Structure 1
Amino acid sequence: MNASLLLRNARLLDPADGGYVEGDIRCADGRIVEIGTGLTAPDVRTEDVRGAVVLPGLIDAHVHVTALTADLSSLPSLAPSYVAAHSARIMGQMLDRGFTTVRDAAGADHGLADAQAEGLVRGPRLLFCGRALSQTGGHGDGRSRGSNRHDDHPCCAGLGRIADGVDAVRTAARDELRKGAHHIKVMASGGVASPTDRIDSTQYSVEELRAIVEEAEAANRYVAAHAYTARAVNRALEVGIRSIEHGNLLDDRSVELFRERNAFLVPTLVTYWALKAEGREFGLPEPSWRKVDEVLGAGLAALERAARGGVELVYGTDLLGGMHRHQKHEFRLRAEVQQPLDVIRSATSVAAELVNMPGEIGTLRPGAHADLLVLDGDPLADIGVLVEPEHLRHVVQGGAIV
């Protein structure tokens, strides 16, 4: 979508600058081209927003757009066409909430990304990794203890692929990169939704993790790692993994490593809140639901430790099934620890740095994609302005009000 638009009399908030500027913003051919006062653009759609706040479109750096249910192990048994239809619905609803770019953390593929880019699917720009890499019995292995058969056919829906050993993980990483992966996702610890592992386990050897990082870096891409415990987080950071997903049980050494390695933390507090309250209703198996308590209480403390230690924090939600509707509640949870501007930066400028698109998204500067939100209210005074739908006047994507 490459449209032209002029928004007049706005309070412009570029998160990197951190303050409001009164003025107009002109977009042409899908990009921001000019900010100033008294701007004109004949024959271009013009909206006088009369003091509303304009900020960059939001970025959610940890979603699963194919997760139509919390029973992730059931996805490979569903028709890919059925999963794609649900994914289109989920993506459209994300756009309606103001998320104009999302980073999918396993499940989405080049087909969905291309469909969105071509306008066939209404939704945010989709940065995908394909399938997450998992060891046998790891967080991406959906088999029960009594199942020996694993259908890993690329035509099946699903979030993970199993690869064991250095040669196998190199092949798997190269295959996802061949299909256009924006990043590689690896399961470096146990998780909630997997049936046979422990949350406190580490997964993959250091040699396997290092091989995955080498393959991503060779392709000028990076690795994101699912990891909960400090032991899992720290070994992932030590081998060069760029972003840690969740990190609920990190420690002071983790904070040091994040800073030393210029790495990013993507907490996902809202998913544990939602899984505890609604997980079983939306398909989360009982054994997985019982695991939630192991990470639920620790998430906010980890966020506070990381924020205090100067870690680069990025907005992520990790919601599944009918719980996607809580995507913006993460703003409220983070505001218990962080200032509103820092939370907004996590979903704009800092997220753009993580996904290697600084200056392209998450900013109002000329040359960036014209992805914008128009809000009635001041999110720096009350983060709830970003959460409550009645404050969202317009979502702009590629210069078009959508």
Structure 2
Amino acid sequence: LDMLEAAKDRVFVAPGIAILYAMLNEAEEFGITKQMATDMGYQIEWDAALESLSKMHKRGIRVLPGGDYGFAFTPHTQNSRDLEFFVKYLGFTPMEAIRSTTLYGGQIMMKPDELGVIKDGYLADLLLVDGDPLANLAILRDPKRILAVMKNGEFAKAPDIASQRAWGRAA
């Protein structure tokens, strides 16, 4: 940890903790019981990951979601679940968890002057959600709550203005 902390301005840690959680808690319907997962070493790996990642976060080492999605028990649509895990298990605040994907995402892609923040001149990659993710990060996993998606300043999913008027949100 000391070496990582000494290099924290140059390194990132992007763990895939969702797969560990799923193997231990959600893979039974796919034939992997909690005991089987424990026997395969997943509990030891989970415990070690939570301990070391929490310490990294406290030391200011940039930890961001690494994912291991695309499996039956960790589908692609659940990627943002890592943010919830960061808060629940690693000691992040909701804002720190969001910054771990946005700000650090731009940095790890070596585009800190183009991505990761809302700022004039940066690429506009935005989600418009129905609700406050700082109060409930789980809304980011609910497709019905994703009102609009903007990529590079263009809507990939435009907001439904008519439904916003029905909610009293549009001018």
What TM-score, normalized to structure 1? 0.33
d(CA) in 2 for partners of 1:279 and 1:395? 34
- Could you say which residue in structure 1 is the equivalent of 2:27? 278
Give 2:5's match in structure 1, choosing from 253, 256, 264: 256
- Could you say which residue in structure 2 is the equivalent of 1:299? 49
Rate the CA distance shift 1:355–1:298 in 2: closer, same or farther, 3 A: same
- How many residues align structurally? 148
Letter aligned with residue 356 of structure 1: M
Give 1:327's match in structure 2, choosing from 61, 79, 83: 79
Rate the CA distance shift 1:353–1:308 in 2: closer, same or farther, 3 A: same
CA deviations 1:163-211 (Å, max 9, x no partner) are xxxxxxxxxxxxxxxxxxxxxxxxxxxxxxxxxxxxxxxxxxxxxxxxx
The offset of 1:309, in angstroms, is: 0.7
CA deviations 1:366-387 (Å, max 9, x no partner) are 2322321001112223323323
d(CA) in 2 for partners of 1:287 and 1:378? 35
d(CA) in 2 for partners of 1:342 and 1:272? 22
Letter aligned with residue 132 of structure 2: D
Rate the CA distance shift 1:289–1:331 in 2: closer, same or farther, 3 A: farther
Give 1:400's match in structure 2, choosing from 155, 159, 164: 155
**Match status 1:357 vs 2:105:** no
Rate the CA distance shift 1:326–1:288 in 2: closer, same or farther, 3 A: farther
- Could you say which residue in structure 2 is the equivalent of 1:174? none
CA deviations 1:242-283 (Å, max 9, x no partner) are xxxxxxxxxx43443443x62111122211011222188289
d(CA) in 2 for partners of 1:287 and 1:384? 26
Conserved in 1, the CA contact under 8 Å of 2:5 and 2:60? no
The offset of 1:346, in angstroms, is: 0.6
Letter aligned with residue 263 of structure 1: V
d(CA) in 2 for partners of 1:282 and 1:395? 36
Q: Which has the higher contact order (CA 8 A, sep 6+)?
A: 1
Aligned Cα RMSD in Å?
Answer: 2.7
Where do 5+ consecutive residues of structure 2 fail to align?
158-171
- The residue correspondences of 1:1-400 to structure 2 (distance < 5 A) are 252-259=1-8, 262-276=10-24, 277-278=26-27, 281=30, 290-322=40-72, 323-324=74-75, 325-336=77-88, 337-398=91-152, 399-400=154-155
d(CA) in 2 for partners of 1:267 and 1:346? 12
What TM-score, normalized to structure 2? 0.73
Q: Percent identity?
A: 22
d(CA) in 2 for partners of 1:394 and 1:339? 25
SS at match of 1:317: coil
Letter aligned with residue 272 of structure 1: L
Q: Greater share of helix residues, 1 or 2? A: 2
* Runs of 4 or more above 6 Å deviation: 286-289
d(CA) in 1 for partners of 2:28 and 2:121? 42
d(CA) in 1 for partners of 2:105 and 2:62? 9
Conserved in 2, the CA contact under 8 Å of 1:273 and 1:296? yes
The offset of 1:299, in angstroms, is: 1.9
Q: Greater share of strand residues, 1 or 2? A: 1
Q: Which has the larger radius of gyration?
A: 1
